[in-house]
Amino acid sequence: MECDNVQHSVFGRYASAYDVLYADKDYDVECSFLQDIFQLYGRGEIRRILDLGCGTGNHAVRLAERGYYVHGIDRSGEMLRIARIKAENSLVRNRLRFDQGNIQQISLGISFDAVICMFAVISYQTSDHALVSTFKTARNHLNNGGLFVADFWYGPAVLRQRPAKRVKEVTCEHETIVRYAHPVMDTKDNIVHVHYGFEKAYGAKKLEDYKERHSMRYFFKPEIEHFLSRTGLTMKRFCSFGDIHKDADDTTWNAMVIARKP
């Protein structure tokens, strides 16, 4: 996962708990959704994908297993360490590459058929400058006619539903992780500051207790379209995440944009 400069420390210790906490996330369904997008909106065959904010590689590995070449970029060294282990343990490691870098600034010198930003990576770009820089990175790494696909927190749903305090507890073998989430709304800047508390225990023995703050920006359709246009990308579809045929509305916490480089 990738974050704005002011949040450089997020996904530090969180990385070790990340896959356990999101074990219930259906990455296979999400990769099938991406394939549907590629088939509907792609110009020609899509084979090479750049995954910006790839995290621990859960989308990248599954896409590689479906025949794509995937190059993942993330700022978190610990996230990438886990992603590389997954790649080495897979049968498709020759179709995977993971590099550390800032998605607002990287220049790989190669281009791709599609660039993806999954699991609300875009929402971690909390300033206009960070968002525009990320969109420029996507555009600069796309072939002509290539697709940019990203999901993010959608403003109308965030304002209607309002983030609430939550507790999530998961157990993997004998290790238990409890995550406390305390969101604080900043409606002036369209940001939710999520204060996380983590407790890790092995049986009855407490292992860790730490805190992190993740600041997430929620967006509206006109501003996403505006910033895409500023960076030379054309919006092709704005929809509910997971359903390309459903328009995003105030029941849709996660929206998705599909854009193309002319």
> In this structure, how many other beta carbons lie within 10 angstroms of the beta carbon of residue 144?
9
232 and 130 share one domain: yes
Band (235; pLDDT cuts 50, 70, 90): very high
- pLDDT tens, residue by residue, 43-63: 999 999 999 999 999 999 999
Provide the domain count of the chain. Answer: 2
Q: Parallel, antiparallel, or unpaired for β 254-260 and 234-240?
A: antiparallel
Domain holding 162, by residue range, is: 158-215
Give the closest residue to 140 by CA, choosing from 178, 169, 171, 112.
Answer: 112
Give the closest residue to 100 by CA, choosing from 52, 59, 139.
Answer: 52
Band (4; pLDDT cuts 50, 70, 90): low
- pLDDT tens, residue by residue, 26-44: 999 999 999 999 999 999 9
Q: What is the DSSP string of 116-146?
A: EE-TTTGGG--SHHHHHHHHHHHHHTEEEEE
What does pTM read for this prediction? 0.94
Domain with residue 59: its CATH number is 3.40.50.150
In three-state secondary structure terms, 104 is coil
Domain with residue 189: its CATH number is 2.20.130.10
CA–CA distance, 86 with 80 (Å, rounded to integer): 10
Report the share of the chain in percent with pLDDT over 70.
95
Query: Who's near 74: CB < 8 A, 6+ residues apart?
Result: 1, 2, 53, 54, 55, 80, 83, 98, 100, 101, 103
163 and 136 share one domain: no
